[in-house]
Amino acid sequence: MPHTIPATLIPGDGIGPEIIAAAVEVLAALGAPFAWDTQVAGMEGVRTAGDSLPPKTIESIKKTRLALKGPLETPSGGGFRSSNVRLREEFKLYANLRPARTLIPGGRFDNIDLVVVRENLEGLYIGHEHYIQIDDDPHAVAMASGVNTRQGSRRLLQFAFEYAVANGRQKVTIVHKANIMKALTGIFLETGLELYERNYQGRFVLETVIIDACAMKLVLNPWQFDMLVTTNLFGDILSDLVAGLVGGLGMTPGANIGANAAIFEAVHGSAPDIAGKGVANPTALMLAAAMMLDHCHLPHMATRLRNAINHALNTDKVRTGDLGGRASTAEFTRALIARIAGSA
């Protein structure tokens, strides 16, 4: 039996507490040795601790260097700054790894197996913005600055290229908009091409594509891609598009990885429209938990979890509403636990 692994648990907002409870139950059924330290963030942090990222939460992750996180709500247009972005900055989680695989065959797109690697700390996403007042209109002009650095681009591209080599990926595509944002996304493209030429040539194929064409190609023929690596905002958008190819946001996990910590989560948000109804699909978070098990060198448990998800969805046909089924979160969780017990 492996030793105990301390890990921070952030239930989060909306459907977060429901799907996190489901994931914790399933991880316990697997015998995963996590010792959870439960902390708050997001809207729940504001409500209970007066801060969307309270110091106690930061302290916990500093100690554990590992977290499983539910979605955190961020108000649009105004209000507090995203606690997801603050977490990424606090722990320098520069790589966002988002694999997407078809789990239920027979959908609009079959046999999808795509990995999106998104730069997580730079670009237009950093939220350095302001308004300029003209006459009596305080919002007459809106301005935003994007920042991409050579060093930031290189460490992310290196992460992606190393992942490609370690996981036997055949092709990596750099997605950019260097025809228009020549400096901001040109630096990312240029750094990627240089890095490939210097250290990775012959180990996989490298291609480049402009973001708008990439979006179209992903819908027309997603199988032409293997791994996509891109800047922060493009990665944010494309990873949701890719989630749509494999059945929606309920199916795609994400890992935020840095030098000093790793935080695992679903790609989706807090889904306020279905929160509290017990109908959320916990699959994406379960798959994030499987990535967390891999990260902690527990690949046999990760495989058992992925197999249980596959059987619950496809053999037992226990599916939540977003997948066209009628199962509740609790029923799906019970189906997973039964499959895990059967695979012991």
Q: Is 45 in the site for ligand NAD (CB under 6 A)?
A: no
**Cα 48 from Cα 265, distance rounded (Å):** 22
Residue 109 CB burial class (10 angstroms; 0-12, 13-18, ≥19):
middle
Residues 307-326 that bind ligand NAD (CB under 6 A): 322
Q: Whose Cβ is closer to ligand NAD: residue 136's or residue 273's?
A: 273
Using CB under 6 A, pick the residue from 45, 71, 192, 258 that binds ligand NAD: 71
Q: Which of these, 107, 88, 106, 105, lies nearest to 96 by C-alpha position?
A: 88
CB neighbours of 344 closer than 8 A, spacing ≥ 6?
A: none
Q: Whose Cβ is closer to ligand NAD: residue 276's or residue 299's?
A: 276
* Catalytic site includes residue 177: yes
* Catalytic site includes residue 125: yes
Using CB under 6 A, pick the residue from 280, 291, 302, 308 that binds ligand NAD: 280
Give yes or no for a contact between 200 and 207, defined as CB atoms under 8 angstroms apart: no
Q: Report which residue's Cβ sits closest to ligand NAD.
A: 269
| Extended strands (E) in the chain | 5-10, 34-38, 66-69, 95-101, 113-119, 123-134, 137-147, 171-176, 205-210, 227-230, 253-257, 262-266
146: amino acid identity, one letter: G
- Partners of 115 in the beta sheet? 99, 227
Q: Is 18 in the site for ligand NAD (CB under 6 A)?
A: no
Q: Which of 37, 69, 196, 236 is catalytic?
A: 236
User: What binding mask, one character per residue, do residues 209-248 give for ligand NAD by CB under 6 A, x or -?
Assistant: ----------------------------------------
Q: Is 73 in the site for ligand NAD (CB under 6 A)?
A: yes
* Catalytic site includes residue 56: no
| Enzyme catalytic residues | 125, 177, 212, 236
Q: Which residues bind ligand NAD (CB under 6 A)?
A: 15, 71-74, 84, 249-250, 265, 268-274, 280-281, 284, 322
